[in-house]
């Protein structure tokens, strides 16, 4: 697709969503991602609301069918057909007593975008309908936020911890890879790496059948991620059991920024329907707002992820350093510093911003998944954050350049920030949905 006519771009995006529609939910991309993903469906609903509000609502309510009895929302709800038995068996959600009875899911979560999507749909509804929409979703949403604090903030410090890189949504982002290499590399994976046997892993990797290997995580990373998943599964996804032995838990920057914003949406939803959020949860939500500051590193003037185990900042800069803008929770002075980072050569100096990591990072690779390419969802979050702090011109410019990137190169999963060349899966749902949203 090389099109500058907004109507043609919207038509193309609508076609992608239609093609990926499975009735009540949408796959991120048919071949590579044939199931329902948590934050994907939230972004998809944000676009779908402009086309069909009711369908946007089902995109979210269908996510709730996968909710665990302890409140967790899993990052994947599996297609039940026989063809995907292997995918379901990889996770075996049934090993946990909390997993839902008749449906297979993963055993971990993903960034809490649900509250944002609920409110964006709410904006399209008149007050009585909005209220009943909120009433319908609220119990599940509240249970999810309660689970996050109860299960993933064991020391009541305010920052949620993640137990697997997939939970961050930015799967192979450098802080996760460096943490994994330092603390959680099984000896046999290191051995495979040393003996250069990693090529063999191509025989069992499904993703590389759909996308060139250079655009995905490396075989060694994939193997280490699989080992981390197996550890979770062996402990039946019980975080307490895991944390007592594991050296691998991260206070993820992007996740906590999204949570802060989600918490403020949760407050707004509760207020609209006249519900009082339990005091305990409110206190913990407030703590998160203050705790974000602990991820700020004054010497480098950046936000970072932090290791839960060592309590040390993981000094690997990524696009997540800009997401505190989206949280809406930082001072104007701090926001100004982030906007300066955004406008610097290493982020905005490329032809198609914003690269998922700065171009001067030693990890940078224009095509490699979350280690360089530009993604429409992170751009969308940052555009929103810029508007929140009154940077309208910067937001308009980024929005325009994001739309150009899609119009000129297609509705792809991600793009080279240097040339705009599309990479990852073609016909990607959140790229389509958020393009529609940006054009509105």
- The residues annotated with a catalytic role in the active site are 171, 413
Of 28 and 74, the one with the shorter C-beta distance to ligand GLC is 28
Of 33 and 367, the one with the shorter C-beta distance to ligand GLC is 33
Distance in angstroms (rounded) separating the CA atoms of residues 151 and 160: 9
| Nearest distance in Å: CB 179, ligand GLC | 17
* Residues binding ligand GLC: number (CB under 6 A): 7
| Nearest distance in Å: CB 213, ligand GLC | 15
Of 38 and 386, the one with the shorter C-beta distance to ligand GLC is 38
Of 149 and 225, the one with the shorter C-beta distance to ligand GLC is 225
Which range in 35-43, 62-70, 337-345, 350-358 contacts ligand GLC by CB under 6 A? 35-43
Q: Give phi and psi for 161, each to the nearest 5.
A: -105, 150
Distance in angstroms (rounded) separating the CA atoms of residues 118 and 134: 8
Of 37 and 348, the one with the shorter C-beta distance to ligand GLC is 37
Q: Give phi and psi for 373, each to the nearest 5.
A: -55, 155
Of 158 and 174, the one with the shorter C-beta distance to ligand GLC is 174
Our measurement of the distance from residue 217's CA atom to the centroid of its chain's CA atoms, rounded to an integer in Å, reads: 16
Q: What angle do CA 8, 31, 409 make, to 5 degrees?
A: 30
| Nearest distance in Å: CB 187, ligand GLC | 27
Site for ligand GLC in 4-33 (CB under 6 A): 28, 33
Among 39, 68, 364, 380, binds ligand GLC (CB under 6 A): 39
37: contact with ligand GLC by CB under 6 A: yes
Q: At what angle do helices 114-122 and 127-152 cross, to 10 degrees?
A: 170
427: contact with ligand GLC by CB under 6 A: no
**Residue carrying structure tokens 């026989």:** 82
**Residue carrying structure tokens 């920024």:** 257
| Nearest distance in Å: CB 106, ligand GLC | 11
Of 211 and 243, the one with the shorter C-beta distance to ligand GLC is 211
**DSSP character string of 277-325:** PPHHHHHHHHHHHHHGGGGEETTTTEE-EEETTT--EE----GGGGTHH
Distance in angstroms (rounded) separating the CA atoms of residues 361 and 52: 42
| Nearest distance in Å: CB 277, ligand GLC | 28
Which range in 1-9, 34-42, 155-163, 392-400 contacts ligand GLC by CB under 6 A? 34-42
Distance in angstroms (rounded) separating the CA atoms of residues 346 and 335: 18
**Residue carrying structure tokens 């936020």:** 145
DSSP 251: E
x/- site string to ligand GLC, residues 149 to 188, per CB under 6 A?
A: --------------------x-x-----------------
Distance in angstroms (rounded) separating the CA atoms of residues 411 and 415: 10
CB 322 within 8 A of CB 344: no
| Nearest distance in Å: CB 37, ligand GLC | 4
x/- site string to ligand GLC, residues 40 to 69, per CB under 6 A?
A: x-----------------------------
| Nearest distance in Å: CB 145, ligand GLC | 20
Of 28 and 175, the one with the shorter C-beta distance to ligand GLC is 28
Site for ligand GLC in 206-225 (CB under 6 A): none
**Closest to 80 in 3D by CA, of 69, 67, 66, 61:** 66
| Nearest distance in Å: CB 28, ligand GLC | 3
x/- site string to ligand GLC, residues 383 to 422, per CB under 6 A?
A: ----------------------------------------
CB 303 within 8 A of CB 297: yes
Distance in angstroms (rounded) separating the CA atoms of residues 65 and 67: 6
Spell out the residues 6+ positions from residue 267 whose beta carbon is closer than 8 angstroms to its own.
277, 285
Length of the chain: 440
The rounded radius of gyration (Å) of the Cα atoms in the chain is 20
Which range in 11-19, 36-44, 81-89, 250-258 contacts ligand GLC by CB under 6 A? 36-44
Q: Which residue is nearest to ligand GLC (CB)?
A: 28
122: contact with ligand GLC by CB under 6 A: no
**Residue carrying structure tokens 């030693």:** 362
DSSP 159: P
Our measurement of the distance from residue 16's CA atom to the centroid of its chain's CA atoms, rounded to an integer in Å, reads: 20
| Nearest distance in Å: CB 211, ligand GLC | 11
Binding site for ligand GLC (CB under 6 A): 28, 33, 37, 39-40, 169, 171
């Amino acid at each position: 697709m090389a099109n500058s006519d907004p109507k043609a771009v919207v038509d193309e995006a609508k076609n992608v969503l239609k093609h990926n529609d499975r009735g009540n939910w949408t796959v991120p991309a048919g071949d590579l991602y044939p199931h329902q993903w948590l934050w994907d469906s939230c972004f998809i609903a944000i676009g779908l609301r402009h086309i069909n509000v009711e369908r946007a609502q089902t995109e979210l309510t269908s996510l709730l069918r996968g909710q665990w009895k302890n409140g967790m929302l899993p990052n994947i709800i599996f297609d039940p057909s026989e063809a995907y038995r292997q995918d379901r068996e990889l996770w075996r959600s049934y090993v946990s007593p909390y997993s839902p009875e008749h449906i297979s899911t993963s055993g971990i979560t993903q960034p809490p975008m649900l509250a944002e999507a609920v409110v964006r749909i709410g904006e399209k509804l008149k007050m009585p309908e909005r209220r009943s929409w909120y009433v319908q979703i609220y119990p599940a949403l509240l249970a999810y936020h309660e689970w996050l604090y109860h299960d993933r903030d064991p020391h009541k410090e305010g920052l949620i911890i993640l137990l697997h890189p997939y939970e961050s949504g930015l799967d192979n982002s450098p802080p996760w890879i460096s943490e994994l290499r330092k603390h959680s590399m099984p000896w046999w994976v290191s051995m495979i790496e040393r003996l250069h046997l990693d090529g063999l892993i191509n025989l069992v990797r499904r993703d590389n059948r759909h996308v060139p290997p250079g655009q995905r995580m490396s075989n060694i990373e994939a193997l280490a991620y699989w080992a981390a998943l197996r550890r979770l599964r062996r402990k039946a996804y019980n975080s307490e059991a895991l944390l007592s032995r594991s050296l691998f838990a991260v206070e993820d920057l992007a996740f906590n920024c999204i949570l802060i914003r989600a918490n403020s949406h949760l407050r707004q939803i509760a207020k609209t329907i006249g519900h009082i959020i339990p005091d305990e949860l409110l206190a913990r939500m407030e703590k998160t707002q203050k705790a974000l500051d602990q991820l700020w590193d004054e010497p480098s003037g950046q936000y970072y992820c932090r290791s839960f185990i060592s309590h040390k900042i993981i000094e690997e800069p990524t696009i997540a350093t800009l997401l505190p803008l989206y949280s809406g929770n930082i001072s104007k002075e701090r926001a100004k510093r982030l906007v300066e980072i955004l406008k610097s050569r290493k982020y905005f100096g490329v032809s198609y911003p914003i690269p998922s990591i700065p171009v001067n990072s030693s990890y940078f690779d224009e095509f490699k998944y979350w280690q360089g390419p530009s993604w429409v969802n992170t751009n969308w979050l940052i555009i929103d954050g810029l508007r929140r702090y009154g940077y309208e011109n910067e937001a308009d410019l980024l929005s325009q350049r994001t739309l150009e990137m899609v119009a000129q190169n297609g509705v792809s999963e991600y793009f080279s920030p240097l040339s705009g060349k599309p990479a990852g899966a073609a016909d990607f749902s959140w790229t389509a949905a958020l393009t529609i949203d940006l054009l509105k």
